[in-house]
Amino acid sequence: MTRMWCRATQVLEDPRGVAASTITELVERCETSETTVIRFCRTLGLSGYPQLRLTLAAEAGRSDSGTARVVGSDIGPGDDLAQIVEKIAYADARAVEETASQLDLTSLQAVVDALVAARRIDVYGVGASAFVAMDFQQKMHRIGQIAFAWSDTHIALTSAALLQPCDVAIGVSHTGVTSNTIDALAEARRSGATTVALTNFPRSPIAEVADHVITTAVRETTFRSGAMISCWRSSRSSISCSSG
């Protein structure tokens, strides 16, 4: 109850601050867990923390402008084309800024060094994260690194079992709870490969099987998958560092 009260107090006293904070930042501020925050959001009838942030940002925008047109809100059925473009551009720009501001540069450098020295790189992802994995593979090939993206669970597990200590395996999961991706990354770790989790939730299950965790910060919207925004942005950051 005390932790739930902290959630409510933070939202009431600083709605703009909560809207601008990642779930990790809010967890640290209230000394609680991500599970508690998500449970609080669902108590309010929201699907999760991203929707809470969107709702708070929308209300703050209405308060400032006195109008229903809010750049920080989700795309609505009544939005015209200009509003849709504006909202998508705003969401993507915020994803880049917030991801960059909360990145652990020490962890990022360790991942970059591992990628540069790797004999081969396996990237695991399913659903929307599979497209991120394929994009990462393509970028790795462009800078001369041998990489493979696997979205099929059985093939991913087979590949992971054949990795060696000189290899790197990356699991892409926005939520961090995708069991297929976690299983493949865990198998890669058992094979001795360096494992990396790319996720929006650093305390999620995928982090438990990763040597390094690269976190993203993004508001997932109805028409824009968090995996395609946050993980894609973070993967490009790693690529830029390794190619530089």
Ramachandran area for residue 66 (φ above 0: left; ψ -120 to 50: alpha; else beta): left
147 — pLDDT class (breaks 50, 70, 90)? very high
Residues 69 and 108 in one domain: no
Q: For residue 68, what pLDDT is reported?
A: 45
pLDDT digits (tens, 9 = 90+) for 199-233: 988 889 999 999 999 998 876 655 554 454 444 44
User: Do the domain assignments include residue 122?
Assistant: yes
Q: Are residues 56 and 132 in the same domain?
A: no
Q: How many CA atoms lie within 13 A of 40 on its CB side?
A: 25
Do 201 and 112 sit in the same domain of this protein?
A: yes
For residues 112 and 182, state if they share a domain.
yes
Report if residue 79 sits inside a domain.
no
* CATH number of 46's domain: 1.10.10.10
Handedness of CA 93, 228, 177, 123 (dihedral sign): negative
- The pLDDT tens digits of the residues spanning 178-201 come to 999 999 999 999 999 999 999 988
Residues of the domain holding 46: 2-73
Percent of the chain with pLDDT over 70: 79
Number of domains in the chain: 2
- Are residue 226 and residue 126 in the same domain, yes or no? yes
pTM of the predicted model as reported, rounded to 2 decimal places:
0.66
Buried b (16+ CB within 10 A) or exposed e, 126-165: bbbbbbbbbbbbebbeeeebebbbbbeeeebbebbeebee
Is residue 144 located within the same domain as residue 219? yes
